[in-house]
Amino acid sequence: MTDFAAAHNLRNFRGKCENLHGHNWTIEVVLRGHRLNESGILVDFAEVKQFTRTILAELDHNYLNDLPFFKEQNPSSENIARFIFERLAERLNSEDRWLYRVTAWESADACATFMYDGYGRPAGPVKEREQ
């Protein structure tokens, strides 16, 4: 898990989140695989952290609505998780392992997850709220 801070506003939301505001998002990354390597690991955590930090550097301390991906897509937690998932999958997926899930926590009790469906296609966003 790692984090970044950024500002955004949600278009066509009809609520207070249409106003400019910010979050300290926490990002959780989960990989799956078929087999471990000769060292008994699926992936070096340092590799996952390095790629994740590189992607989050594009988001950190920015106004997300100004970034190219979010010009057309609302910068919701669902789309943030999707953005990170798609970029990480390009770097981490291999024959023996694949990115399974990226969760973007916008607060301690609200998150959205973008996940792989297990059949070669992203499953799409899943919104999760804890009570």
Concerning whether 106 is annotated as a catalytic residue, the answer is: yes
Which of 8, 78, 106, 111 is the catalytic position? 106
Catalytic pick from 18, 21, 34, 61?
61
Residue partners of 128: CB distance under 8 A and separation at least 6 = 103, 110, 111, 112, 113
The yes-or-no answer on residue 17 being catalytic is: yes
Token readout for 74 is 């609302």
Residue 23 is among the residues annotated as catalytic for this protein: no
The catalytic position among 17, 28, 58, 86 is 17
Active site members: 17, 61, 106
